[in-house]
């Protein structure tokens, strides 16, 4: 090879080794966007719906606890609810332990 070709290859080698960080940054941004769309956003929506459910509890609602106990609400306080489980059996549970309203499905 002649000297001119060697100098041209040496001058081009460092430029080829340097790459833009833009594609990497865009890839990380896309991953974060996908995680937010498919994981964080739906979870926040579900938590908001559950909180609205717990705030709207009233006497007579039929509910299910986290442990799977079915009952009817007799009394609602700020943090607790008194539920009738069966006959005269009553339980005082934390409102955070109530996860589902089955009033509509129980009537069907």
Grouped pLDDT means (10 residues each) for the chain, 108 residues: 58 59 92 91 92 91 92 93 93 92 64
Cβ contact 57:71 at 8 Å: no
pLDDT value, residue 108: 46
Give residue 51's pLDDT. 92
Model pTM?
0.63
Q: What is the pLDDT of residue 10?
A: 58
What pLDDT was estimated at residue 85?
Answer: 93
Per the CB < 8 A criterion, the answer to whether 94 and 82 are in contact is no
Q: What is the pLDDT of residue 20?
A: 85
How many Cβ atoms from other residues are within 10 Å of residue 81's Cβ?
Answer: 24
The predicted pLDDT at position 30 comes to: 94
HSE-CB at 14 with a 13 A cutoff on CA atoms is: 3
Structural class in CATH, domain 58-108:
mainly beta
The pLDDT score that the predictor gives to residue 79 is 93
């Amino acid at each position: 090879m002649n000297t001119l070709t060697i100098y041209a290859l040496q001058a081009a080698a460092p430029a080829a080794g340097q790459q833009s960080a833009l594609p990497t940054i865009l890839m990380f941004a896309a991953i974060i966007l996908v995680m937010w769309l498919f994981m964080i956003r739906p979870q926040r929506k579900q938590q908001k719906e559950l909180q609205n459910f717990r705030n709207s509890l009233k006497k007579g609602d039929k509910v299910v606890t986290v442990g799977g106990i079915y009952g009817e609400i007799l009394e609602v306080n700020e943090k607790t609810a008194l539920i009738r489980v069966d006959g005269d059996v009553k339980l005082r549970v934390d409102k955070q332990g109530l996860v589902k309203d089955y009033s509509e499905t129980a009537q069907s």
